[in-house]
Structure 1
Amino acid sequence: MKEVQKAAFSFEQFKVPQFSYNENNNNGNNLKIGLEPRGTYNSKTGEFILSLNFISHNEDNLGNFIFQLNSIAVFKFESNIEYTEIPNYFYKNAIAIMFPYLRAFISTLTLQANTKLLKLGLMNLTGLEIPLKENISII
């Protein structure tokens, strides 16, 4: 029997420090969304902070946002490894781990506000791996 290996990183926390919701800008069903990932890695503590900005607007009204949200997830590596030693699968998996929390926050907020429910479906987020790798600062 094979021994189970411990994961290279763990998910520590998720928070939404800033968001803006404007129901009045939601005029139709053609909703466009954007996701902008960024990361900060501290090699002394092994902590990786993933920031994921979410923006939504109507397709025909690009200047007026419906939802703007900045979310943060904190991941911790088992040992304090150098940035170059972070496994490639981490970037894709970190976004996939964080996204359900972001989706739940948006759905719950619009439901509790008794407005038009903004419910995000499942999404293929593998395309965010490269932008995340390009937007990482190392401490």
Structure 2
Amino acid sequence: MEKAAFKLDNYRFTKASLDFNIPNNAELNISFSPKGVFHTKEARYELDFDVMVGCTETNTEVVKVSCVASFSFGGGITIADIPEYFYPNSLAIVFPYVRAFVSTITLQANMQPVVLPTINLMGLTEELKEKTTVIE
């Protein structure tokens, strides 16, 4: 059987929040919450990717953004046909857009920009697979 090919069709940011009250040079931590919906009829996967940046000193959420990305597959496939590499790669494809968006909104707020590091997102593969639902 031929491997399923996929492409990013579009992405959009659905939520963004920013807390301006963070100390200079504060230590920040980053966390992720991915989930997905596979639409069988359209052979389309919708990735919901939430990224939260927190301040360890004040124990507050500094930045939170939610991004929704839509991926399409070539041909009628089922959830079982989705290759293993899709899950980490879908996150890796979307993350640079999230990273740029976070930098832009913090810079435009006239504060020290929050620049997210490049991150290996392979550790989120199982979480994304477990939080994927199927719509027939």
Q: TM-score, normalised by structure 1?
A: 0.90
* Structure 2 letter corresponding to 1:43: T
Counterparts of 1:126 and 1:65 in 2: how far apart (Å)? Answer: 24
Stretches of structure 2 lacking an aligned partner (at least 5 in a row): none
Contact 2:10 2:71 in 1 (8 A): yes
Counterparts of 1:92 and 1:54 in 2: how far apart (Å)? Answer: 15
Alignment match of 1:122 (pick from 107, 118, 123):
118
Counterparts of 2:72 and 2:101 in 1: how far apart (Å)? Answer: 23
Counterparts of 1:46 and 1:16 in 2: how far apart (Å)? Answer: 22
Alignment match of 2:55 (pick from 35, 53, 58):
58
Alpha-carbon distance change, 6 to 126 in structure 1, aligned in 2, over 3 angstroms: closer
Counterparts of 2:97 and 2:81 in 1: how far apart (Å)? Answer: 27
Further displaced range: 109-118 or 93-102:
109-118
- The runs of at least 4 aligned residues of structure 1 exceeding 4 Å deviation read none
Q: Give secondary structure in 1 for the equivalent of 2:129.
A: helix
Counterparts of 2:104 and 2:129 in 1: how far apart (Å)? Answer: 30
Counterparts of 1:49 and 1:79 in 2: how far apart (Å)? Answer: 16
Q: 2:6 aligns to what?
A: 9
Q: 1:54 Cα deviation (Å)?
A: 0.8
Question: In the comparison of the two structures, how many residue pairs are matched?
Answer: 133
* Structure 2 letter corresponding to 1:105: F
Q: TM-score, normalised by structure 2?
A: 0.92
Q: 1:42 aligns to what?
A: 39
Q: Percent identity?
A: 35
Deviations 1:77-105 (A, max 9, x none): 01120001101110011000000000010
Counterparts of 2:117 and 2:34 in 1: how far apart (Å)? Answer: 19
* Structure 2 letter corresponding to 1:115: M
Counterparts of 1:7 and 1:106 in 2: how far apart (Å)? Answer: 32
Counterparts of 1:8 and 1:85 in 2: how far apart (Å)? Answer: 10
Counterparts of 2:58 and 2:18 in 1: how far apart (Å)? Answer: 15
